[in-house]
Structure 1
Amino acid sequence: MFTACKKNDSPAPAPTPVSTTGTVSAVAGSGVAGFANGTAGAAVFSYPTALAVDASGNLLVADQANNQIRKIVTTSGATTTFSGSVTQGSSNTSAVGTLASYNNPAGVAVDATGNVYVADYGNNQIRKIISTGAVSTLAGATSSGKTDATGTAARFNGPSGVAVDAAGNVYVADFNNNLIRKITAAGVVTTLAGSSAGKADGTGTSAQFNGPRSIAVDAAGNLYVADANNHAIRKVTAAGVVTTLAGSGSIGNADGTGTAASFYHPAGVAVDVNGNVYVADTDNNLVRKITPAGAVTSLAGSGYLSLITPFNAPAGVAVDATGTTVYVACSLGNVILKVK
């Protein structure tokens, strides 16, 4: 199963107290790994890792260990299977609904017309789901690589995050390649930023990431990347200029501005209508907020590793159209929460 953590990370420092401001409630999930559709706590997930909000305000969930995309009606918590079967698969052919197959889907996004995009991590592909539920492969093939090309001639290596801009361009956090990729609506894949593993600001291939886990795009076309193994949130312009928005690069849970703040394997990222960025700070069991000026605060969670808090490895985050409700997928807690 996909994880953003490196085995050779230095030990985390002793936890320090964290002040949080959000109110947390449950949306769906029993808290136990498995599979079941149902309402609120009757629904069962297995390692949910990413979220997206559609035009109706409902949630799409990358239910990774179940190899499915689930849908939650946020007003009731009613959960159904949107796409995929529980059985892991690698079909490249078009299929509809539960006849489609995925291999550890790790990222999900929705465009302005309701098309859904999936970062099919284990299949090294980006999948597209149209309104009828029909699934096709937008780019990539089951073999890994980093080739820029069109459609299935392109190659990825563990794509883990996906986002789509207003023009219909799809952006991919290509985790194992340490790259940010761009896919046009015609399926043309190029490398926007990144090279070998490392941490460097710069333009295009002069920039470096280390395990880019997820990606979000704002109204101006800027990208935000949860650079998990650098413990930082990076910003990428449409021209490929990469800067560090927040995070010192060292493990910690400090609030602050820019590099004075610290994270611990941030895995999820989302951006609201006002340009605020929200982070699923996985190994701190926190949800963090970053203002456009880079000021980091903690909204909810414990601030340290714990199996008893409902914030057990938050991995995915999404925000509603008003910017007032943040949704969180807790991968080890197997629940979907909301923070207000």
Structure 2
Amino acid sequence: MTCFLRFTHVFLAGVLAGCILTGLFSTCLLAQTITSVAGNGKEGCTGDGGPAIQANLSAINVAVDRQGNFFVVDEIHQRIRKVASNGIITTVAGNGNFGYSGDGVPATSTALKYPAAVTADAQGNLFIADRENQRIRKVAPNGIITTVAGNGTYGFSGDGGPATQAKMSSPRGIVIDAKGNLFFADRENSRVRKIAPNGTISTIAGTGAYGFSGDGGPASSARLAYPTELALDAQGNLFIADEANFRIRKVAPNGIITTVVGSGQGGYSGDGGPATRASIGYPGGIALDAQGNLFFADPSNLRIRKVAPNGIITTVAGDGIEGFGGDGARASSARLSYPAGLAIDGQGNLLIADSGNNRIRKVMASSQSPAVVSVSLINADTEKEIKLISEGETINLASLPTRNLNFRMNTSPATVGSVKMVLSGSYNQTRTETDAPFALFGDNQGNYNAWTPASGSYNLTATPYTGPGGSGSVGTSYSLNFKVTNQPSAVPQVVSFSLINADTDQEIKQLTNGDVLNLASFPTKNLNIRANTQPATVGSVKMVLSGPQSRTQIDNGTPYALSGDKNGDFNAWTPAMGSYSLTGTTYTGSGGTGVAGTPLTLTFQVINQAQLARTGAEASAEDLPVMAYPNPFRESFTLKLKGQADEKIPVVMVDAYGRKVLELLRVDPAGQVIVPSPQLAPGVYVLQVGEGHRTQRYKLVKDK
């Protein structure tokens, strides 16, 4: 059941298969190199206006348009984000609020409610399956959002009438054909429905009865079981991910439905044989290329699979092991984490919403010219990658696990004719490698030769060729500058935590162990917690919060915020009531890698208790501030007093008739007391704190 729920969250939300239009794509996708094109691996919603590859995101779905842009469906943060052809990410729909609002206004100012899928038409309109709002919405090229289908009511009705008056039940996959007909999966009605250009809605597949039947007959007479994803090919065939039937079905232009993938048995089998005999998991996103190859996400099997025009099924991406890895290498050897949405871009590349990895990944089409796409620093002792080297980076030998190093050139596709590498600077090296891995200092079938660089500045340029030994056509070169140092440094550490006002981004207070945080006493309930480090900048900080709300956050850049931030603009977090433990640990490397510092752990309690109401108007300079929580209480309450450290303060509790029901002879103001009171009847009570002229009275209420 745990796995099923995981899949439900990841891919039952709906995936755009991609609207494949005649003449758009001309390349054939084979098993090729995989790379990341959006997302840094951290869940969140940051980075707008900057490179998509550096952004925090949550990706359940992906779609493309004719202009070379692709769109990311962020179901968690109620947004649709766009990655332009220049790699810059922005938000195009959704203000981050969960709900329904705002037709006729800019799409970025309106609320969405679990958006599931998007598609774009030739005119630049963007259509959104706004799942839990039970609507299909349109964002025009001028950015204004409207509703084109659904009246917001869960159910089924309206066929033959205006789509905006129809009921629907959790719309998911959505595509549009060249004639302007819009199709969507009405998942929980077990139907696929069509909105004609004149706005009329109808059912084109499914009777509404959950099950499997109807192959070889009219699609409108067939049974479906939670249809979730859709795709169209250039011939007008509509493909349906018939999720709970473990099948992909095709509705031909004449309306006849057949099965094209899946035997109906859940599992993983059949590669190299007929797709209709294969076992698949709950199918996710679908996409088709110009050659008629059908690609679909098999999330539970952690793979992307392909059905060729001859009906043979194979795996094109994912090795079946959950995780992240393989960028710059062969896609079929890469690690995926519950891949969901698919789309094919204008160059024939396959885009994957790698939802569990919070990334959009791209599998290159085979017809592309060779290119060196990145350079990896290799541990020559273990043959493993240490990290990707970026332009201008400083490599500190003292922070690495070894000084036996090498550099590997990562190419697209993974296999090219040869790569020529030229290193200049404090050390000079020229080498041409014909066989992968393409290592600057050579290797023996993947056993890397070791090199220890001298300190200084370097330039590395790598050029791929289609032929061996630097022959044939020249591909796209990759060049970077870097420095090497050897500077041992003290292990950094977290020295304190600060409570932050996320409205103003200012510190409220430094947290101390055992703190009681009373939300009622703060200027806002929009909070965050910042880890303060020594030195001020470290490789990364890992923060682990446990309690009523649990969270693990790894932050690579200052400020190191438990709930994240965007360049110092802190994300808001309102903690639930209860007791928490927070541990912060620094690391010398990014992403929680490298040498760990000494962890700092503290505990704190969150309450939401206004100061107790006085029963009288008396006040004096000798008041005894009292805090009792929760109020109202049930089985017990906690009492905290403030007074002189050397005094003991008497506390008496009386009922509404003035009868003494509880007495604490002496309470130490330096601490707190948990007062059990299961014997008390529900009602209003009065705490009498202090004695003589210093006696103060406060109201407490016991709930039923």
The answer to whether the aligner puts 1:286 opposite 2:286 as a matched pair is no
Letter in 2 for 1:169: N
The C-alpha deviation readout for 1:260-299, integer Å capped at 9, x for no partner, is 2121111111112221111111222111111124969xxx
Q: CA deviation at 1:92?
A: 6.7
The answer to whether the aligner puts 1:31 opposite 2:96 as a matched pair is yes
Letter in 2 for 1:168: G
Structure 1 distance, partners of 2:413, 2:228, is 26
Structure 1 distance, partners of 2:279, 2:90, is 37
| 1:308–1:217 Cα change, 3 Å | farther
The answer to whether the aligner puts 1:87 opposite 2:153 as a matched pair is yes
| 1:280–1:8 Cα change, 3 Å | closer
| 1:309–1:217 Cα change, 3 Å | farther
Structure 1 distance, partners of 2:95, 2:88, is 20
Partner SS for 1:213: coil
The C-alpha deviation readout for 1:194-221, integer Å capped at 9, x for no partner, is 0211122231322221111221122222
Deviates more, 1:178-187 or 1:250-259: 250-259
Letter in 1 for 2:234: A
Q: Please tell me whether the aligned partners of residues 67 and 104 of structure 1 are also in contact (alpha carbons under 8 angstroms).
A: yes
| 1:191–1:308 Cα change, 3 Å | farther
Partner SS for 1:33: coil
Letter in 1 for 2:159: T
Q: TM-score, normalised by structure 2?
A: 0.39
The answer to whether the aligner puts 1:100 opposite 2:166 as a matched pair is yes
Letter in 1 for 2:122: A
Letter in 2 for 1:253: F
Letter in 2 for 1:199: Y
Partner of residue 267 from structure 2, selected from 187, 198, 223: 198
Letter in 2 for 1:272: D
Structure 2 distance, partners of 1:107, 1:265, is 17
Q: Please tell me whether the aligned partners of residues 230 and 238 of structure 2 are also in contact (alpha carbons under 8 angstroms).
A: yes
| 1:308–1:158 Cα change, 3 Å | farther
- Seq. identity, %: 38
Structure 2 distance, partners of 1:238, 1:308, is 46
Structure 1, unpaired ranges of 5+: 10-16, 297-304, 311-340
The answer to whether the aligner puts 1:120 opposite 2:186 as a matched pair is yes
Paired position in structure 2 for 1:139:
205
Structure 2 distance, partners of 1:113, 1:309, is 44
Partner of residue 64 from structure 1, selected from 116, 120, 131: 131
Structure 1 distance, partners of 2:147, 2:158, is 20
Comparing both chains, which one has the higher relative contact order based on Cα–Cα distances under 8 Å and sequence gaps of 6 or more?
A: 1
Q: CA deviation at 1:45?
A: 0.9
Partner SS for 1:101: coil
Q: TM-score, normalised by structure 1?
A: 0.79
Paired position in structure 1 for 2:110:
43
Structure 2 distance, partners of 1:128, 1:76, is 25
Q: CA deviation at 1:259?
A: 2.2
Partner of residue 228 from structure 1, selected from 293, 299, 305: 299
Letter in 2 for 1:152: S
Give every structure 1 segment of 4 or more consecutive aligned residues whose post-TM-superposition deviation is greater than 6 Å. none
Structure 2, unpaired ranges of 5+: 8-39, 42-51, 55-86, 367-411, 415-551, 554-562, 567-704
Partner of residue 183 from structure 1, selected from 251, 263, 282: 251
Q: Please tell me whether the aligned partners of residues 275 and 307 of structure 2 are also in contact (alpha carbons under 8 angstroms).
A: no
Structure 2 distance, partners of 1:189, 1:309, is 49
Q: Please tell me whether the aligned partners of residues 194 and 205 of structure 1 are also in contact (alpha carbons under 8 angstroms).
A: yes
How many residues are paired up?
291
Q: CA deviation at 1:5?
A: 6.2
| 1:25–1:132 Cα change, 3 Å | same
The answer to whether the aligner puts 1:77 opposite 2:150 as a matched pair is no
Partner of residue 53 from structure 2, selected from 20, 24, 27: 20
Q: Please tell me whether the aligned partners of residues 198 and 208 of structure 1 are also in contact (alpha carbons under 8 angstroms).
A: yes
Letter in 2 for 1:31: G
Partner of residue 55 from structure 1, selected from 122, 132, 135: 122
Letter in 1 for 2:147: T
Letter in 1 for 2:222: A
Structure 1 distance, partners of 2:6, 2:321, is 14
Q: CA deviation at 1:164?
A: 0.9
